[in-house]
Amino acid sequence: MTSAVQIVRVADGQAVPYEIQIGAGLLSRAAELIATALGDLPRSVHIVSDTTLAPLYAPAVRESLESAGAKVFLHTIPLGESEKSWQRLEALTDAILANGIERSDALIALGGGVVGDITGLAGALLLRGVSVVQVPTSVLAQVDSSVGGKTAIDTRHGKNLIGAFYSPRLVLCDLSVLSSLPVRELRCGFAEIIKYGLAFDADFFAWLEDKAAILSNPKDSAFAEVLGVAVQKSCQHKARIVADDARDTTGKRALLNLGHTFAHALETTLGHDSQALKHGEAVGLGLVLAARLSESLGMAQAIAEPVMRLNQRLGLPVALSDIGLDASHHDKIVQAMRYDKKTAGGEIHFVLLQAIGQAVFPCTAEQQAVREVLA
Ligand code: GLY
C-alpha cells in the first residue's frame, strides 16, 4: 500500500476549513496530525468508539496520544443504529463531563457512521462546542458520513431528526483499516462510491467499471491502491458539494442522497438494525431503482443496465428479490417513502438522473411509476 498521504481540503464556510487526510498508518500518527490541525495537542482527548472496534483500533490511537503527553479517556458504546438515541447521548456526554473536559480538549470519533454521528453531536453540545476529529473506520464512513458536519441522533419520529451541522477539525481516513474489513462491509462502502460516479462524474463511473474486478477481490495486489484512489475521489466530490451547500438548503447537497429515498424505505420495511439488509446494500439497490425510475419517466436512457452490472460485479443487490422482498411489500415501501425528509407538501422528492454523472433534484413521480420500478 502506498504510504503517501493525500489531502482533500473542505472549506464549507461554516467553520474553520479542515483537511481530510487519506493514507495508510494514520491511526498511529494521530497525536502529530491532531496537534498540527488544532494548533496544539489537547490536554485531554476523549476517544468514542464501539465495543467491536475499540479493541482493534483504540490502542494505536491511545498510544500515539499518550506518548505525546495527552490524557486519554476511552468511551465505548454498543454497535448499532439504535445507539443513536437521547439515552446514549445523555450517557456519553455525562461520562465525558464526569471525566472532565475543557474547551481546548477534543473528542475523537473512532468508528463507523453511528459513532461519527453521536460523537459529532456530543462535540457540538459539550461546553457549546469542543473540537471533534473524525477517524472513520469503514469505507462508508470515510467517503460520506465523516465529512460535511452532519451530526444527529434518531427519535421515535424518525432517523436523524435531532442534530446539528458541526464540522470536524480533521478527518483521518486510515486506509490500513480497510483491508481487514469483512467483505460485506466493503460492499456497503462501494455503494456510496458508485453513487459519486453516478451522480456527478461519468469518468469516475467508467473508472469504477474498469477497476471492478480489482475492487471485488481484496486479495488482488492492486486492491489497496485502487480502493485508496476511490476513497480520495469520493472525498473530493463530497468536499466540493459540502462547500457549495453546507447547510443543505439549495438542493446541491441533496444530490448526495441519490438512491437514498428508496434505500431508507427499504430499511424501514425490513427494520433499521436488520441483518438482512445493511445501509450500503440498501443504497446500492436504491441506485438501481433511481436509475430505473429516471428511465421510466423519460429523463434518461440506458443507465439502469450499467448500474445493475456494476452492482453485480461489486456484490451489491440489483432487485428486491435479492434482499428477500417481493410484491407483498410494495405498499409498505411506498408508504415509507412518504415519510422521507425530502417529502414536501405531501409529494415525494427524488434525486434522479439525466445521464450517468448528472443527478437532478427535486424530481417527482406518480406512485404508479414508483410501483412499476419496484416490480
Ligand atoms: N450524507 C449526505 C450528506 O452529507 O449530506
Where does a domain end: 146, 180, 214? 180
Query: Which atom number of ligand 1 is nearest to the Cα of residue 241?
Result: 5
Query: Which atom number of ligand 1 is nearest to the Cα of residue 253?
Result: 5
Cβ–ligand 1 contact at 150 (below 6 Å): yes
Give me the numbers of helices (H) and strands (E) for the chain, helices first please. 13, 11
C-alpha cell at 204: 469516475
Q: Say if residue 161 is in the same domain as residue 228.
A: no
Q: Say if residue 59 is in the same domain as residue 122.
A: yes
Residue 194 three-state SS: helix
Q: Say if residue 139 is in the same domain as residue 231.
A: no
For ligand 1, the distance from its centroid to the CA atom of residue 148, given in whole angstroms, is: 7
Where does a domain end: 136, 163, 180? 180
Residue 40 maps to a domain: yes
Residue nearest to ligand 1 atom 5, measured at CA: 253
Residue 251 maps to a domain: yes
CATH number, position 43? 3.40.50.1970
Where does a domain end: 128, 149, 180? 180
For ligand 1, the distance from its centroid to the CA atom of residue 145, given in whole angstroms, is: 7
pLDDT tens profile 238-254: 999 999 999 999 999 99
Residues in the chain: 375
Cβ–ligand 1 contact at 256 (below 6 Å): yes
> In 10 A of CB 340, how many CB atoms?
20
Range of the domain at 130: 6-180
> What is each CA distance from 203 to 69, 76, 206, 230, 233, in whole angstroms?
46, 41, 5, 12, 11
pLDDT in tens, the chain (375 residues): 446 999 999 998 888 999 999 999 999 999 999 999 999 999 999 999 999 999 999 999 999 999 999 999 999 999 988 999 999 999 999 999 999 999 999 999 999 999 999 999 999 999 999 999 999 999 999 999 999 999 999 999 888 999 999 999 999 999 999 988 999 999 999 999 999 999 999 999 999 999 999 999 999 999 999 999 999 999 999 999 999 999 999 999 999 999 999 999 999 999 877 788 999 999 999 999 999 999 999 999 999 999 999 999 999 999 999 999 999 999 999 998 877 666 667 678 999 999 999 999 999 998 899 999 999
Cβ–ligand 1 contact at 351 (below 6 Å): no
C-alpha cell at 255: 444530490
Contacts of 229 (CB under 8 A, 6+ apart): none
CATH number, position 232? 1.20.1090.10
Q: Say if residue 251 is in the same domain as residue 291.
A: yes
Query: Which atom number of ligand 1 is nearest to the Cα of residue 144?
Result: 1
Q: Say if residue 200 is in the same domain as residue 290.
A: yes
Q: Say if residue 224 is in the same domain as residue 155.
A: no
Q: Say if residue 166 is in the same domain as residue 211.
A: no
Q: Say if residue 119 is in the same domain as residue 176.
A: yes
Q: Say if residue 212 is in the same domain as residue 168.
A: no
Q: Say if residue 102 is in the same domain as residue 135.
A: yes
For ligand 1, the distance from its centroid to the CA atom of residue 367, given in whole angstroms, is: 26
For ligand 1, the distance from its centroid to the CA atom of residue 243, given in whole angstroms, is: 12
Cα(321)–Cα(2) distance, rounded to whole angstroms?
40
Query: Which atom number of ligand 1 is nearest to the Cα of residue 254?
Result: 5
Cβ–ligand 1 contact at 144 (below 6 Å): yes
Residue 99 maps to a domain: yes
Helices (H), 168-303: 183-200, 202-215, 223-244, 260-270, 279-296
Residue 336 maps to a domain: yes
Q: Say if residue 192 is in the same domain as residue 303.
A: yes
Residue 107 maps to a domain: yes
Residue 330 maps to a domain: yes
pLDDT tens profile 83-125: 999 999 999 999 999 999 999 999 999 999 999 999 999 999 9
Cα(375)–Cα(371) distance, rounded to whole angstroms?
7
Residue 311 maps to a domain: yes
For ligand 1, the distance from its centroid to the CA atom of residue 64, given in whole angstroms, is: 31
pTM here is 0.95
Q: Say if residue 165 is in the same domain as residue 48.
A: yes
Which helix (DSSP H) or strand (DSSP E) does residue 118 occupy? helix 113-125
Residue 1 maps to a domain: no
Residue nearest to ligand 1 atom 3, measured at CA: 256
